[in-house]
């Protein structure tokens, strides 16, 4: 029930208090929460850039449709999709499985072979689209976690991905920015924080099948 209360408390924050900074202990929890996010096959094709530098954040505002939350927020989370999921990436994933779960090659080889074959058949655009879907999963997970920590957030698609990629030299890292989310604490004069949440009724949003 506490999580439901937190989800009712959260909203897409339109104005942050620039003087309030997220504690190191909560940032650590956010990083852990991101790393625990679900992903297809468990491949984790999403990396997180966590920016806490007002000069950088200010420079990113014009690349983000002049949305002031980018600069005001304590931190800016940038969700980046891996642009290359090749056999090396997949083999590295299965090496982690072997180490953590103490399994042998014979047990994992059929699944490993299947994934390598499957991703070889995908185009680069298909891989990026697939990875982007995983980024949305990670963002949703972080939204819920931040709400539970009473940390405000504002999920955004409104930014110039190419400019972000160039600014952070993401192409050289095999990454592409796909989503951004300022994190911090709402300003006392953000009028949106006082507004009632607008949602469909449960009966209009959920279809029960018996």
pLDDT at 1: 63
pLDDT at 141: 97
- Note the pLDDT tens digit of each residue in 66-77: 999 999 999 999
Q: Identify the residue whose tokens are 């070889």.
A: 120
Q: CB atoms < 10 A from the CB of 194, how many?
A: 8
- Note the pLDDT tens digit of each residue in 120-132: 999 999 999 999 9
Polymer length of the chain: 210
Tell me which residue of 138, 122, 150, 104 sits closest to 6, measured CA to CA. Answer: 150
The list of the chain residues with pLDDT below 70 reads 1
Q: Could you tell me the maximum CA-CA distance found in the chain, to the nearest angstrom? A: 61
* Model confidence, pTM: 0.96
Query: According to DSSP H, which parts of 49-171 are helical?
Result: 54-60, 69-72, 87-101, 105-120, 124-148, 161-167
């Amino acid at each position: 029930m506490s999580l439901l209360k937190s989800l009712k408390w959260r909203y897409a924050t339109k104005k942050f208090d620039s003087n309030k900074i997220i504690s190191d202990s909560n940032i650590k929890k956010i990083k852990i929460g991101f790393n625990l996010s679900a992903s297809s096959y468990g491949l984790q094709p999403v990396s997180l850039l966590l920016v806490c530098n007002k000069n950088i954040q200010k420079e990113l505002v014009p690349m983000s449709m002049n949305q002031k939350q980018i600069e005001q927020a304590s931190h800016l989370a940038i969700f980046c999709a891996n642009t290359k999921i090749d056999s090396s990436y997949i083999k590295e994933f299965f090496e982690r499985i072997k180490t953590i779960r103490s399994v042998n090659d014979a047990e994992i080889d059929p699944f490993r072979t299947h994934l390598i074959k499957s991703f070889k058949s995908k185009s680069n655009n298909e891989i990026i689209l697939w990875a982007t879907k995983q980024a949305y999963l990670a963002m949703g997970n972080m939204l819920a976690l931040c709400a539970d920590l009473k940390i405000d957030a504002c999920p955004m698609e409104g930014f110039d991905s190419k400019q972000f990629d160039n600014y952070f030299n993401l192409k050289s890292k095999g990454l592409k920015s796909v989503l951004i989310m300022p994190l911090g604490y709402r300003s006392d004069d953000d009028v949106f924080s006082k507004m009632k949440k607008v949602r469909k009724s449960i009966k209009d949003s959920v279809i029960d099948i018996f």
